[in-house]
Structure 1
Amino acid sequence: MKFKLKPVGDYDVDIKIDACGVCGSDVHTVTGGWGKQNFPLCVGHEIVGHAVRVGPKVTLVKQGQRVGVGAQVYSCGDCKQCREDNETYCQTHCTNTVAPMLCAGLTAYSPLVRHGAGKGKKVGIVGIGGIGHFGIMFAKALGAETWAISRSRAKEAEARKLGADGFIATAEEGWEAEHRCTFDLIVNCANSSSGFDLAKYLSLMDVHGRWISVGLPEEEGQVIKAQNLVSNGVLIGASHLGSRRETLDMLKLAADNGLEGWVEELKLGQDGLQEAILRMKKGDVRYRFTMTGYDEVFSQ
């Protein structure tokens, strides 16, 4: 496929890509899980590279610098949301095509800091995948008592290596009983809602505890009765990406604590991309794929 490049504008940065992560939203998009695909598609929004050209009015990036790009690419900068470091909720540029995009680390970090994860708090991470494994690391680094919550114990050893203090396997009978009304915050990173008994999960929350969802499964949503909410006054919400300020804070937290995502590198190309999509669809990844070898492909 060929296309004409736009000229570099006053506020544009042209990036030579070194590596690009494969996000769950890429899989949902190319397979049609979130709706009909509009081909041709070009997915990929977890990018690290070097700035090779910088517009004359750009102030935050200099030519030659190593830079990163996440899913958020547009915001007006002037509305109430943008002025309050909530540019991912910008009402001027936030569209349905941008909204579903997720960038794993920031998607996990933002709800943790916005909802008080830290010392003296008990935090749960549901779904130990690409987003969830970052959630465990960040919750622990922020000082919270951190619990991993998954269907089986297959990932327990890895969750504890990531920093989990405890582990709950929801396939076990009566799994919720001893943990009722004990969690201050749970971030739901699960990528599937099949067999998901939301009432049992909500029973884990302390009075006015917060259940925040960041995963976007393809299946129908869960049904919940009002009676399941009144016993602990649980607050239910969601989170979308995070702000630029939170991105910088997240990277500092990772650097200060020596945190690195668990990734498997694959070579860019038809074979590598096909392997990434098929294995992610099956959940066969620990815990993110990163496509590399851009020079080999694009220097030809």
Structure 2
Amino acid sequence: MSPNYKFQGWMGLDKDAAKGKMVWQEYTPKPFEETDIDIQITHCGICGSDLHVLRSGWSASLYPVCVGHEIVGVAVRVGSKAEGGIRVGDRVGVGAQSSSCLKPDCEQCSGGAENYCQNHQTGTYSSKYPDGSKSYGGYADYWRGPSHFVFKIPDALPSDVAAPMLCAGITAFSPLKRLGAGPGKRVGIVGVGGLGHFGILAAKALEVDKLVALSRTSSKKADALEMGATDFIATDEDEDWAAKHANSLDIIICTVDSPKMPLAKYLRLLRVGGTFVQVGAPEDRLPPFNILPLLAKDLKIAGSSVGSPAEIREMLDLFAKKGVHTWNNNVPLKDANKAILDMDAGKARYRFVLVNEKHVSQVERNEARENKL
């Protein structure tokens, strides 16, 4: 049976979409399966990935494309074989991944690392499901996809706060958790932006001993310290910063992706056995570096991509328990074109969240009606 609602959203028709030229129009979602869930979207975070895809920065995008993969809303249709105990009316969310092979003989999917499945992955937008249908994201009224990648949102996390956690939050949290960030560990976060501010918030929630924020200038120092950083390094304002802070960190999470970033100096900050993790995804190449420091100190350079469903649930529960609060600016969904331009201009402090005011009002009316019963 067809739903009594339409799938429509802000569509990028070509590379000019990244210049604030998305168009609101209807589209056809994937065919509904009994393992799927439909979400009436109330909030969607704006991610740097959205801009990369709108302009085909990483590779050719599957235009027309509806971006947005930090989605929170209300489950309005739940298949008979849906996972997670989700029911119609539950507040739920979905992040950057919407599908993987989920086969029992897949080492990654069976081992709780679906985000690294090597057989098949579907991104939440500009990607394809196994049946060949396209995926569409959250700058829209509704979203449809597999329930395995849909998560209940804890009551303690407001929807606008939770939405950016589903991509930016987990991208920072996952490598920290896997590398044992916690008491006794010293962590550095490179870049105080949408990803970086979550790196600071997550490391604080994990109770690391030392938490250093690194940025080119000191313009964000006060914010970083308020978020939980115990120290701040402005790399453009002190020529000797790498020498002064050498051998001081166990883990560095790098959220920036500039080909001009001082990678060799970042590596100097690591202690013996330390790990540098790149989470910012560049369109350009990273700068070259000398391999000898890695040999001399048993250093590791790694990459990390979003997180598994289990890690996302763990993160949401921890953030709810610890009172982690996204530093976000809410923008009406109707102003999405302006918002992506502001995002590209670096105006977010530190995450823009699109609010589907029509659906938020409807949810509030429904909740008020239930409270009276």
* Fold similarity call, TM over 0.5: yes
| 1:296–1:182 Cα change, 3 Å | closer
Contact 2:258 2:282 in 1 (8 A): yes
Name the residue aligned to 2:111. 84
1:95 Cα offset (Å): 6.2
Contact 1:106 1:247 in 2 (8 A): yes
Alignment match of 1:3 (pick from 23, 27, 30): 27
Matches within 5 A, 1:264-279: 264-269=329-334, 272-279=335-342
Q: What is the DSSP-based 3-state SS (H/G/I as helix, E as strand, rest coil) of the residue aligned with 2:251?
A: strand
Q: What is the DSSP-based 3-state SS (H/G/I as helix, E as strand, rest coil) of the residue aligned with 1:53?
A: strand
Name the residue aligned to 1:291. 354
1:296 Cα offset (Å): 6.6
Contact 1:210 1:236 in 2 (8 A): yes
Name the residue aligned to 1:202. 267
| 1:295–1:245 Cα change, 3 Å | same
Q: What is the DSSP-based 3-state SS (H/G/I as helix, E as strand, rest coil) of the residue aligned with 2:188?
A: strand
Deviations 1:215-260 (A, max 9, x none): 0122222101222322322110010111111111111111111111
Contact 2:273 2:297 in 1 (8 A): yes
Q: Distance in 1 between matches of 2:272 and 2:30?
A: 53
Q: Say whether 1:133 aligns with 2:197.
A: yes
Q: What is the DSSP-based 3-state SS (H/G/I as helix, E as strand, rest coil) of the residue aligned with 2:71?
A: strand
Q: Distance in 1 between matches of 2:29 and 2:343?
A: 31
Q: Distance in 1 between matches of 2:37 and 2:359?
A: 22
Contact 1:181 1:232 in 2 (8 A): no
Alignment match of 1:230 (pick from 272, 275, 295): 295
Deviates more, 1:222-231 or 1:284-293: 222-231
Alignment match of 1:67 (pick from 92, 95, 98): 92
Q: Distance in 2 between matches of 1:77 and 1:250?
A: 22
Alignment match of 2:79 (pick from 55, 75, 92): 55
- When normalised by structure 2's length, the TM-score is 0.75
Name the residue aligned to 1:247. 312
Q: Distance in 1 between matches of 2:176 and 2:344?
A: 27
1:204 Cα offset (Å): 0.6
Contact 1:126 1:148 in 2 (8 A): yes
Deviates more, 1:280-289 or 1:32-41: 32-41
Aligned residue pairs total: 295
| 1:195–1:4 Cα change, 3 Å | closer
Name the residue aligned to 1:258. 323
Name the residue aligned to 2:36. 12
Deviations 1:164-220 (A, max 9, x none): 000011112111112111110000011x31431211110111011000010012222
Report the AA paired with residue 240 of structure 2.
Answer: G
Q: What is the DSSP-based 3-state SS (H/G/I as helix, E as strand, rest coil) of the residue aligned with 1:74?
A: strand
1:294 Cα offset (Å): 4.8
Contact 1:263 1:288 in 2 (8 A): yes
Q: Distance in 1 between matches of 2:177 and 2:39?
A: 30
Name the residue aligned to 2:253. 187
Q: Distance in 1 between matches of 2:258 and 2:282?
A: 6
Q: What is the DSSP-based 3-state SS (H/G/I as helix, E as strand, rest coil) of the residue aligned with 1:231?
A: helix
Report the AA paired with residue 73 of structure 2.
Answer: G
Q: Distance in 1 between matches of 2:28 and 2:275?
A: 47
List gaps (5 residues or longer) in structure 2: 1-24, 128-136, 138-165, 363-373
Deviations 1:8-45 (A, max 9, x none): 31101011001100001001111232234442111011
Contact 2:42 2:359 in 1 (8 A): no
Q: What is the DSSP-based 3-state SS (H/G/I as helix, E as strand, rest coil) of the residue aligned with 1:73?
A: strand
